[in-house]
Chains A and B, each alone.
Chain A
Amino acid sequence: MKKTSFIFIVLSLLALIAGAIFGALAGIQYVKPDFLKEVIAFNKMRPFHVSTVLGWIILCSTGGIYYYITEVLKLNLFSKKLAGVHLVLFILCAIAIYVSFATGKMGGREYFAYAPIISLPILFGWILFGINYFKTVVKQIKGWPVYLWMWGTGIAFMIYHLGETNFWMIPYFRENFIKDFTIQWKSYGSLAGCWNMLVYGTAIFLMSRIKNDDNIGKGKKAFFFYFLGLFNLMLGWAHHTYIVPTQPWVRFLSYGVSMTEWIILISIIIDWKKSLSAEKKKLNNMSYKFLMATDFWVFFNLIVALLISIPYINLFTHGTHITVAHSMGTTIGINTTILLASVFYIVNLEDKVQLNKHIKILKLGYWVFNISLGVFLTCLLLGGVEKSVWMYFTDKPSSFGQMQDKIQPYMYVFLTAGFGLLIGILIVASPMLNILVRKYKHST
């Protein structure tokens, strides 16, 4: 089973690197529209970037869950064959998605731009994962810690909301633009909640393992946080659509729910940091470092997310680069740092000696990654403020092109920081890829 977990994680690291390369190329196109326009125009480059980065999050959290339940929790997996089919199915889907983009046979929905038929095998893969996960965990563990609930919830809701992303093919939804558009963004908001369940579950698992204290995953606060996350997953989506003319109660409910989301996670991480001994920090140095980076980026996103979830502020930030700063801050600053911490934890368990040989370069990569991310997000926020001023506070509105020209200096720095992120990711991911591939060859 170890081999299957390793393949998921190795593929996820490759997806992270490829996603960052696509992102850097798309960034060049943002400031130089003619760049590669005849080969891969932006309408294809962006989905390559988005889908590949989503692949990183999904594959890494999935590989981690398989590894943790079999190698750390020592549970007997219900079916290794099912896990193998799940892996092969996801690899085939990834190839099909790339072919879909390359040939221009696209479904063209935001975040799910690939040909819609590919959603079917992806959905089937999640169902297989769900069967394997629940059949493994339900019988062998009583009194589940919160991370098992979070992983299970993420998988179950992912199946439902992936289906929901395709409701647009049903005439009842498709024929009414507002209904279709709202449900589309409902499903996306909830899907983000689903992978957050997988990733935050991994964060809590790591914290409990590094501290060697299972109470972290069993405390009242952890479960309170879990239920808040669950309510946000189910009800909080409408903060994406405050502007869309749906019924006010849907948006008002979301406003209330959205205000609750981040506070508990940060308090859990702070409590954990305070109580962790210096010795345990040293034992899992890189894993700990990346969880601390998560801590910082949670603070950043906490502030941005809370502010833009207030409709009064959202009115001015919606549709600007401030929203992008929030979404990229979450996927890179929080999800990616947690998942890198997860990979470091696994690599540390597998081959601590090899990992320690790379520690200096890894620390360099860590700082390049985090400083670049800080600059990257600052540029997006500044660009967003400029766009908002253009949209709402200009008496004589200039053209969209003039507004784009005005924010271009920020976008050049943003692009440079994007390359910095790519370099940081390469420095951090390459040694881990090397170690994991070597361990794969020697594992049974």
Chain B
Amino acid sequence: MIALVAMFAIYNVIVYTQGTSNSTPKMSEKALKGEQLYQENNCTACHQFYGLGGYLGPDLTNIISNKYKGPTYVNAFLNSGIKSMPQFNFTEEEKDALVQFLTEVDQTGYYPIKDAEKEANGWVRIKYKNQ
């Protein structure tokens, strides 16, 4: 039992440090403020990052770099209240923070990964953005 607990502890420490290491830079203060707003308004109930979250709205991982969307589109959409979007009343500063958060999320990777490398053993090599 002690060995199992020790193994679990070591595994967790490795995951928290090396296993989840990535070349993404630290989020800026402005992006963190945007993330806080994203959470306080429970945007994850409808939206996804990397395919994880709700299903009523689109995945937002690469919404900023999407050539048909981008920061201006997102900024205009936030207080629109159209379709399922609740009628939010974000200030300009809050909208900027949310766009900054989405911009920095966009820099972390790709979703969906249309050109992932598929291997015969069922494994998939995903595409990294920062390499």
A residues with a Cβ closer than 8 A to B are 29-30, 33, 37-38, 41-47, 104, 106-110, 113, 173-179, 181-183, 185-186, 234-235, 240-250, 252, 255, 310-315, 318-321, 323-324, 391-392, 400-401
Whether A401 lies near B22 (C-beta < 8 A) is no
B53: A residues at CB distance < 8 A: 110
Across the interface, B39 reaches (CB within 8 A) one of A44, A106, A179, namely A106
Q: Chain A interface mostly helix, strand, loop or mixed?
A: helix
Whether B122 lies near A312 (C-beta < 8 A) is yes
Whether A186 lies near B15 (C-beta < 8 A) is yes
Whether A324 lies near B55 (C-beta < 8 A) is yes
Supposing A175-B27, A245-B126, A255-B123 touch, asked if A43 and B22 sit within 8 A by C-beta, the answer is no
Whether A33 lies near B83 (C-beta < 8 A) is yes
Supposing A175-B27, A178-B109 touch, asked if A249 and B42 sit within 8 A by C-beta, the answer is no
Q: How far is A54 from B38 in the complex, measured between Cα atoms in Å?
A: 23
Q: How far is A238 from B112 in the complex, measured between Cα atoms in Å?
A: 17
B residues with a Cβ closer than 8 A to A are 8, 11, 15-16, 18-22, 24, 26-27, 32, 35, 38-46, 48-59, 83-84, 86-87, 104-105, 108-109, 111-114, 116, 118-119, 122-126, 128-129
Q: How far is A240 from B26 in the complex, measured between Cα atoms in Å?
A: 23
Supposing A113-B42, A243-B126, A321-B55 touch, asked if A174 and B48 sit within 8 A by C-beta, the answer is no
Whether A247 lies near B18 (C-beta < 8 A) is yes
Q: How far is A37 from B16 in the complex, measured between Cα atoms in Å?
A: 40
Given A42-B84, A176-B20, A323-B51, 19 additional A-B pairs, CB 8 A: A33-B84, A43-B43, A44-B42, A45-B45, A106-B40, A108-B40, A108-B43, A113-B45, A175-B26, A177-B104, A178-B20, A178-B109, A243-B111, A243-B126, A246-B21, A247-B19, A250-B19, A319-B48, A400-B57
B129: A residues at CB distance < 8 A: 245
A255: B residues at CB distance < 8 A: 122-123
Across the interface, B41 reaches (CB within 8 A) one of A37, A108, A235, A401, namely A108
A391: B residues at CB distance < 8 A: 112
Q: How far is A29 from B23 in the complex, measured between Cα atoms in Å?
A: 40
Whether A312 lies near B124 (C-beta < 8 A) is yes
Q: How far is A247 from B14 in the complex, measured between Cα atoms in Å?
A: 11
